[in-house]
Amino acid sequence: MFGDESRPLRVAMLAPIAWRTPPHHYGPWELATSLLTEALVRQGVDVTLFATLDSLTSATLAGIVPRPYNDDPSIDAKPWEMRHVAYLMERAGAFDIIHNQADLVPLAFSRMIDTPIVTTLHGMPSDRILPMLAEYQHDVHYVAISDTDRSPDLSYAAMIPHGIDAQAFPFVPEPSQDLLFFGRIHPDKGTATAIRVAKAAGRRLHIAGIVQDQTYFEAEVRPWIDGETVVFSGALGGEDRLRALGSAAALLHLIDFEEPFGLSVVEALACGTPVIAFRRGSMPDIVRHGETGFVIDTAAQAVAAVARLDTIDRRACRADIERRFSVDRMAAQYHELYRAILAARRVTRTAFAGKPALAPAA
Structural domain includes residue 350:
no
Structural domain includes residue 275:
yes
What does the pLDDT average to over 275-289?
Answer: 96
Q: State the pairing for strand pair 158-159/117-121.
A: unpaired
Within its chain, how far is the Cα of 132 from the centroid?
A: 21
**Before 79, cis peptide (omega within 30)?**
no
What does the pLDDT average to over 293-316?
Answer: 98
Share of the chain above pLDDT 90, in %: 89
* Lowest mean per-residue pLDDT among 67-81, 123-137, 216-230, 347-361: 347-361
Domain total in the chain: 2
Same-domain pairing of 142 and 39:
yes
Structural domain includes residue 186:
yes
> pLDDT tens across 2-34, in order?
445 678 999 999 999 999 999 998 899 999 999
Structural domain includes residue 37:
yes
This prediction has a pTM of 0.88
Same-domain pairing of 293 and 333:
no
Domain of 151 in residue numbering reads as: 10-163+326-344
Nearest to 1 by CA among 95, 89, 86, 73: 95
Q: Is the pLDDT of residue 278 over 90?
A: yes
Structural domain includes residue 362:
no
Same-domain pairing of 332 and 317:
no
Q: Is the pLDDT of residue 352 over 60?
A: no
Q: How confident is the model at residue 356 (pLDDT cuts 50, 70, 90)?
A: low
User: How far apart (Å, rounded) are the C-alpha atoms in residues 182 and 19?
Assistant: 18
Same-domain pairing of 177 and 300:
yes
Q: H/E element holding 330?
A: helix 327-353
Task: Assess contact for 60 and 48: CB atoms under 8 A.
Answer: yes
Give the CATH number for residue 253.
3.40.50.2000
- What backbone torsions phi and psi does residue 93 show, to the nearest 5 degrees? -65, -15
Same-domain pairing of 54 and 103:
yes
Highest mean pLDDT of the ranges 148-152, 250-254, 281-285: 250-254
Same-domain pairing of 139 and 36:
yes
> pLDDT tens across 156-207, in order?
999 999 999 999 999 999 999 999 999 999 999 999 999 999 999 999 999 9
Same-domain pairing of 314 and 330:
no
**pLDDT for the residue numbered 1:** 45
Structural domain includes residue 141:
yes
Average pLDDT, the chain: 94
Q: How confident is the model at residue 347 (pLDDT cuts 50, 70, 90)?
A: confident
Same-domain pairing of 203 and 125:
no
Task: Assess contact for 103 and 126: CB atoms under 8 A.
Answer: no
> pLDDT tens across 53-69, in order?
999 999 999 999 999 99
Same-domain pairing of 279 and 262:
yes
**pLDDT for the residue numbered 3:** 47
Same-domain pairing of 26 and 112:
yes
Same-domain pairing of 157 and 180:
no
Structural domain includes residue 3:
no
